[in-house]
Structure 1
Amino acid sequence: MKIITWNCNMAFRKKAEFILAHTPEVLIIPECEHPDKLKYNPAMPIPNDTLWFGSNKNKGLGIFSYNGFRLKLLKNHNPELKMIIPIAVTGNDTKFTLYAIWANNPDDPDGRYIEQVWKAIDHYDKKIRNKKTVLVGDFNSNTIWDRQHRIGNHSNVVKRLEEKGIFSCYHLHHKQVQGKEEHPTFYLYKHKNKPYHLDYCFASTDMIDKIQSVEIGDYEFWKQYSDHVPVMVTFTS
């Protein structure tokens, strides 16, 4: 099973074919336009399920499933945590809870970025656990900005997830340290000399043990489509 997250920098309809070439089972697309605006090339696979959230039809959070996988919004979804979406994912004898994330809520006076993830961990506390759980998407955060975000900063989010038995796939697989990542996922204004690691896939211990690969997209290819590159995590069955 392959999970991919990619902030497409809007106009996903013009770029979908390039990420779909990597054959995801579950695809999380921040800055995705409303499905009504999506016109697929007939040669591209049609998703089994599509979920979309946002107030701006040009720029929301899209979640898509392929290859027999299905998505279902969980009843405990808190709409105040606008872009952190709890989803039941099923398919191919696999079942897990996905929290699709675009940490961006300008209407929240207590913090629009990583604080949203911190609040979600509080709200979904009993559901976020060390079994069959994945949190993935654009967290808009890194340990280097901890001082700007008080208690709900990046390092504390990572620590709290680890206490629950949930770990960053990239950091474990590539033996990286938070805040010192060798592989950026975002380039400010698409400038190669302004790199940051902002996109993550966290998974519970039982899923971490099944990681086959963790790939970060190549800047030279993806810069023509977005200021972010994809994070692609493949799990064995």
Structure 2
Amino acid sequence: MKIITWNCNMAFRKKAEFILTEQPDILIVPECEHPDKLIFKNDIARPTDLFWFGQNPNKGLGIFSYSDFKIELLSIHNPEFKYVLPLSVSNDEIEFTIFAIWAQKPKNHDCYTEQIWNAVHFYSDLLNNENIILAGDFNSSSIWDKPNRIYNHSNLVELLKNKNIYSTYHSFYNQEQGKETASTLFMHRKIDRPYHIDFCFASNNLINKITSVQIGEYENWTKYSDHKPVTVIFEI
């Protein structure tokens, strides 16, 4: 199973053909327009299933299946965590719980991690299961940690670790949070402003089935978005 998360920087309908060359089974797209606006060119593959959530029809969170996986929002979804979406992604052989994420800035401060931190606590029991994936634009990094802030990025990573859930990139490449050698965001598309803020976390039973983790190259993706796709392949 190949899962890709890519913040497309809006207008996904104009950019789908480029990410689809990567042949995802499941594609998570923050900043995606409403499905009513997704008018693709005739030669662009249509998803077999999709789910979209948002308040702005030009800028929501889209999840697409390009395989036999079906996507369904779980009834446990708490609208308070608008862009942390618990989804059942399944076919006839296997079922995953995938949390599609596009972290939003809180009203009273600038720490995007708070929304995910609160959601992880709310969905705590669900996260005890196997076949758990959290993927998307977290808008957070350990380099921005404030020690007196309980919901900083490092504490979120530790909280997930206590659930036996780990970052696929950091596990595969044996790298530390905040010391990544590959970046997923180039602020304002500038090569001298790199950050690693897009993640795919997975439960331990899936970590052991990873065959590849790739971050898109700056030169290949910057004309489409300030974010680079994160691609993870599981041998399922």
Correspondence for 1:29:
29
| Deviating 4+ runs (over 2 angstroms) | 108-112
The SS at the match of 2:22 is coil
Match for 2:167: what amino acid? S
Give matches, 1:77-92, under 5 Å: 77-91=77-91
Correspondence for 1:3:
3
Compute the TM-score of the two structures, normalised by the length of structure 1.
0.96
Classify 1:35/1:149 alpha carbon distance in 2 versus 1 (closer, same or farther; 3 Å).
farther
Asked whether the equivalents of residues 4 and 26 of structure 1 are also in contact (C-alpha less than 8 Å), the reply is yes
Q: Following the alignment from structure 1 to structure 2, what is the Cα–Cα distance between the partners of residues 21 and 166?
A: 29
Q: Following the alignment from structure 1 to structure 2, what is the Cα–Cα distance between the partners of residues 115 and 76?
A: 20
The SS at the match of 1:147 is coil
Q: Following the alignment from structure 2 to structure 1, what is the Cα–Cα distance between the partners of residues 224 and 197?
A: 17
Correspondence for 2:135:
136
| CA drift at 1:169 | 0.2
Classify 1:182/1:149 alpha carbon distance in 2 versus 1 (closer, same or farther; 3 Å).
farther
Q: Tell which deviates more after alignment, 213-222 or 122-131.
A: 122-131
Correspondence for 1:18:
18
Match for 2:9: what amino acid? N
Give matches, 1:1-237, under 5 Å: 1-91=1-91, 93-106=93-106, 108-109=107-108, 113-129=112-128, 131-147=130-146, 150-237=149-236
Q: Following the alignment from structure 1 to structure 2, what is the Cα–Cα distance between the partners of residues 14 and 147?
A: 38
Q: Following the alignment from structure 2 to structure 1, what is the Cα–Cα distance between the partners of residues 111 and 159?
A: 19
| CA drift at 1:111 | 6.0
Classify 1:110/1:190 alpha carbon distance in 2 versus 1 (closer, same or farther; 3 Å).
closer
The SS at the match of 1:54 is strand
How many aligned positions are there? 236
Q: Tell which deviates more after alignment, 128-137 or 211-220.
A: 128-137
Q: Note the residue ranges of structure 1 that are not aligned, 5 or more in a row.
A: none
Match for 1:123: what amino acid? F
Q: Following the alignment from structure 1 to structure 2, what is the Cα–Cα distance between the partners of residues 80 and 134?
A: 20
Asked whether the equivalents of residues 82 and 105 of structure 1 are also in contact (C-alpha less than 8 Å), the reply is no
Asked whether the equivalents of residues 130 and 205 of structure 1 are also in contact (C-alpha less than 8 Å), the reply is no
The SS at the match of 2:121 is helix
| CA drift at 1:192 | 0.3
| CA drift at 1:40 | 1.6
| CA drift at 1:92 | 5.5
Q: Following the alignment from structure 1 to structure 2, what is the Cα–Cα distance between the partners of residues 88 and 201?
A: 16
Q: Note the residue ranges of structure 2 that are not aligned, 5 or more in a row.
A: none
Asked whether the equivalents of residues 111 and 152 of structure 2 are also in contact (C-alpha less than 8 Å), the reply is no
